[in-house]
Amino acid sequence: MNQLIQDLKNRIITKKALVWDFDGVIFFSNWIYNEPLEVYLERKWKMLEKFEPDIRNVFKDGAKYYYENTDYVISRHNASVRDKINQFYLEKELAILPGMKNNAPVIEFIKSLNSDIENYIWSNNQSEFIRILLDSVGLSNNFKAIASLNKMKLGKPNLDGFEIIKDVSEIKDINGFLLIGDSLNTDGEAAKKLGMDFFHLNAK
């Protein structure tokens, strides 16, 4: 981890804004904390089938990224369906809160950053979940904005979340941004679409 942090320090020298993923970067989620993974995934499929009965067949060959089936359903329905799906995710995230682990080196690094650097979170987690955890480690005031799944229409690697960040950022040149994430097929792909530099922080 020390080498990762040093590599990250070297990468931000020319950057004016850092866009952080949350789960897998600042905190680590234990998705099996309160139930076996297969039970949770089955509950998720059944929830999505209420809106799209053929959803399992649509994704019979698998998904490109974890939230792709959710995004598919949301893109075909109205905001009330999106709200119900986000509530499902929020209930799961709140249930696993006691099993969360923080990434202490990254947290200390964020706290040490110069105030001239804009910091953002762009995450497929829910804002209430993120806020609770940030409060727990004293990071409540370190981010200019949080683009969470419940604030977007579609999750990463779709680009809705970055629109939230752009609206409040004073940095207009994409070269001034660095996206820091653990997933190549969500974080890395989103950065690629934007033409933004990407730092793969694989801390596990």
User: Are 147 and 125 part of one and the same domain?
Assistant: yes
CATH number at residue 170: 3.40.50.1000
What pLDDT does 104 receive? 95
For 70-123, the DSSP string reads HHHHHHTS-HHHHHHHHHHHHHHHHHTGGG-EE-HHHHHHHHHS-TTSEEEEE-
> Of the residues 97, 122, 146, which one is the last residue of a structural domain?
97
Cα separation of 86 and 58, whole Å? 21
Distances, alpha carbon 93 to alpha carbons 122, 131, 149, 167, in Å? 16, 12, 12, 27
pLDDT at residue 204 tops 70? no
**What is the arithmetic mean of pLDDT over 96-102?**
97
Residues 23, 106, single domain; the answer is yes
Same domain as 19, residue 46: no
Q: Which of 171, 186, 185, 181 is nearest to 204 (CA)?
A: 181
Tokens representing 23 are: 């789960």
Is there a single domain that holds both residue 193 and residue 122?
A: yes
Are 82 and 156 members of one domain?
Answer: no
Average pLDDT over residues 157-184: 96
Last residue of a domain, one of 70, 97, 124: 97
Burial bucket for residue 167 (CB in 10 Å: 0-12, 13-18, 19+):
exposed
By residue range, what is the domain housing residue 89?
37-97
Query: How many Cα atoms are found within 13 Å in the side-chain-facing hemisphere of 168?
Result: 15
| Residue finishing a domain among 97, 116, 149 | 97
Q: Does 142 lie in the same domain as 44?
A: no
pTM of the entire structure?
Answer: 0.94
Q: Are residues 117 and 185 in the same domain?
A: yes
pLDDT in tens, 36-79: 999 999 999 999 999 999 999 999 999 999 999 999 999 999 99
Task: Report the number of distinct structural domains present in the chain.
Answer: 2
| Rounded CA separation 23/12 (Å) | 21
Looking at the structure, do residues 151 and 86 belong to the same domain, yes or no? no
Q: How far apart are alpha carbons 26 and 105 in whole angstroms? A: 9
